[in-house]
Each structure stands twice: as C-alpha cells, then as structure tokens.
Amino acid sequence: MDGIILVNKPKDWTSFDVCAKLRNLSRTKKVGHSGTLDPFATGILPVFFGKATKSIKYFLEGDKGYVAEMRLGISTDTMDCTGRPISNFQSLEKLGTRFPISNFKSLISNDKAIKGIFEKYTGKIKQKPPMFSAKKVNGKKLYELARKGIEIEREDKEITIHSLKLLEIIEPDKVSFEVICSKGTYVRVLASDIGDDLGRGAHLTKLERFYSHPFHISQALTMEHLINLAKIGELESVLLKPEDFIAILVKNNY
C-alpha cells in the first residue's frame, strides 16, 4: 500500500500510536508521519505508507495552523496540561497584579496593552525550545534530561508567526486563540510567554492542528472511520498520492 492518509489524531494517542495502528491495519511495513503532535493534542496528522514515505521530506517544512486554549494563572513544567504546576498566580490574587483574573475578560477586550502583547508575537520572533521536548542537544533528547530534573542551556530559534488571533475568553482565566506559524513553533511556549507578559503565567490546556501545509483538517478522517474501512477492506480507497501535492509545495518554496 503506497500513499498518504490524513488522520484526525485523537486525544491521548501519540503520533507513533497512530502509525503503529495503521501499520497493523494496512499490513504495510513502512509507515511514517510528518509533523509530530503531542499526546494531548488533536488534529491533522499526515501519515505516509510504503513508497510514499520517501516523500515525507517534502512535507516537513510547511506552515502549520492551530487552535489553542490556555489557562492563565498557573504555569507548569511542561507548559501544558500534562505537567506539574510550578507556580500558581491565582493564589497571589490577594497581593494584586497588573491584570487581576476577576477583571481579565473586560480588560482583554478593552486594554490596548493586552492586545499589544498578542501583536508582539507576530512576525519573526525568537523562541527557546522547552526542556520537555524531543529536540536533541548533543545527542540527548531534552525530555530525557528534564525527567531527571536536569535543565541545560538551549539556543533561541527564529520562527515566524504569520498570524495570531485572540478568539474567545472562555472563562475569566481561559483564553482561546488561533495561530498560523512556521515549522518548529512550540505553541505551548507561545502560551507560556504570553501568560508571563500578562503577569499571570499560563499553560496550554487544548491544542488542535487544523492545518499542515498543504492539508486541512476538513480532509482528515477519524481513527474510528479508518478502522471501519480496514474491516471491510477499503482502507486503500482513501489513499492520496504524494505527487499530487508536491507540486504545490515546490511552488510555495517548501
């Protein structure tokens, strides 16, 4: 079996879990993906089968799009909901802060300074890779060191935030936003940095990737759907040919 299947990765599955399941369903030895998603994240995951795995390199450099939710007031060591709280600004509410949570909803719709913080993170910016990440430094994955309580210096990396939109104030301490960004952007670092700039700290609570150039979430299929297709021998019916999309990538200089 050769081609691409666009998967809507479910929550609590690793990207490896998805590939392993589809490898078993398709009985194809070579299965890989472009663009890892953290286990708590959902959204589009392009999965490549057979000879199409040779085309993964063409799809790694493309821009990504996410809808995210962050909770203000609590920072975690992983910068997301899977981590251990390391500071709780909510407990400091009585001490007073620049942006008290009780007034955050009204402030964020009216305060130019808060809107300016979101605008600050558009364009080319520097971002430090988090310790809890698969990035390798001197041959070691950072998360392996982090789990041992070891933190090392990491070089800032230049990324591009093409757009960053505040979507909704869900609760006084929860904010959703949309970001379209370059490859290698850590959305949880973005949320943490924005939270720090707001004087409250923050961590990511939800993350859905709706775009992985040139693919959109509307094209993706759920694992349940794919499992059912495999049961009736129709999994190959949803395969896409990589050559149909490589021309788009080349045209856009990816």
Number of compact structural domains in the chain? 2
Q: Which domain holds residue 117?
A: 64-130+156-211
Determine, yes or no, domain membership for 115: yes
Determine, yes or no, domain membership for 243: yes
pLDDT tens by residue, 37-94: 999 999 999 999 999 999 999 899 899 999 999 998 889 989 999 988 987 665 444 4
The gap from C-alpha 81 to its chain's centroid, in whole angstroms, comes to 13
CA dist 42 → 3, 205, 209 (Å): 22, 12, 6
What pLDDT was estimated at residue 113?
63
| 78 lies in the same domain as 36 | no
CA dist 97 → 36, 85, 189, 205 (Å): 37, 19, 22, 23
| 98 lies in the same domain as 194 | yes
What CATH number is given to the structural domain containing 106?
A: 3.30.2350.10
| 108 lies in the same domain as 96 | yes
d(CA 132, CA 154): 12
d(CA 125, CA 116): 15
| 7 lies in the same domain as 38 | yes
- Our answer to whether residue 38 is catalytic in this structure is yes
Determine, yes or no, domain membership for 149: no
Q: What is the pLDDT along the chain (254 residues), one digit of tens a residue?
A: 999 999 999 999 999 999 999 999 999 999 999 989 999 999 999 999 999 999 999 899 899 999 999 998 889 989 999 988 987 665 444 444 555 555 555 555 555 666 778 888 999 999 988 766 677 777 777 667 767 776 777 788 999 999 999 888 887 788 899 999 999 999 999 999 998 888 778 999 999 999 999 999 999 999 999 999 999 999 999 999 998 888 777 666 66
Tallying the residues shown for the chain, one arrives at: 254
Question: Among residues 38, 80, 173, 193, which one is catalytic?
Answer: 38
| 80 lies in the same domain as 112 | yes
Mean pLDDT (the chain) is 86
d(CA 208, CA 8): 9
pLDDT tens by residue, 181-197: 999 999 999 999 998 88
Determine, yes or no, domain membership for 166: yes
Question: Strand pairing of 3-9 and 221-222?
Answer: parallel
Determine, yes or no, domain membership for 51: yes
| 71 lies in the same domain as 194 | yes
| 71 lies in the same domain as 182 | yes
